[in-house]
Amino acid sequence: KAGVTQTPRYLIKTRGQQVTLSCSPISGHRSVSWYQQTPGQGLQFLFEYFSETQRNKGNFPGRFSGRQFSNSRSEMNVSTLELGDSALYLCASSLSAGGPADTQYFGPGTRLTVL
């Protein structure tokens, strides 16, 4: 069974631009969560989608948004990029509707650099 895939793997943008990252979960997984990982802050939860609905949301500004499609694939968008948005963005999928207690399987991440 294929794992979680994320595209692109690397991205360089400039301040003020916007970016869209994509995540395809493991086949059969319906929950997709997004995390931001930086050296100082560790892994921070952005949001979780289940059945095309945002079920949970972390403490990030409204510039960070996401959506999930009927095939469970998910995208996240960051508008008006800031230097501090440079990070590894990780997507994780889980099997069912159990929320955060379900084991999450992570994709390889998208390394975003904002110049």
Instruction: Enumerate binding residues for another protein (CB under 8 A).
Output: 4, 33, 35, 40-45, 48, 55-56, 58, 90, 99-101, 103-109
Shortest CB 16 distance to another protein, Å? 29
Q: Of 19, 9, 23, nearest to 114 (Cα)?
A: 19
HSE-CB of 7 using CA atoms within 13 angstroms: 2
Of the two residues 59 and 70, which places its CB atom closer to another protein in the complex? Answer: 59
| 78 versus 92: smaller Cβ distance to another protein | 92
* Closest CB to another protein among residues 55, 67: 55
Q: Closest distance between another protein and the C-beta of residue 48, in Å?
A: 8
Q: Which residues pair with 12 in a beta bridge?
A: 113
Q: SS3 of 99, please? A: helix
Q: Are 76 and 110 in contact (CB under 8 A)?
A: no
Instruction: Report, in Å, the least distance between residue 66 CB and another protein.
Output: 15
- Residue 48 contacts residue 32 (beta carbons within 8 Å): yes
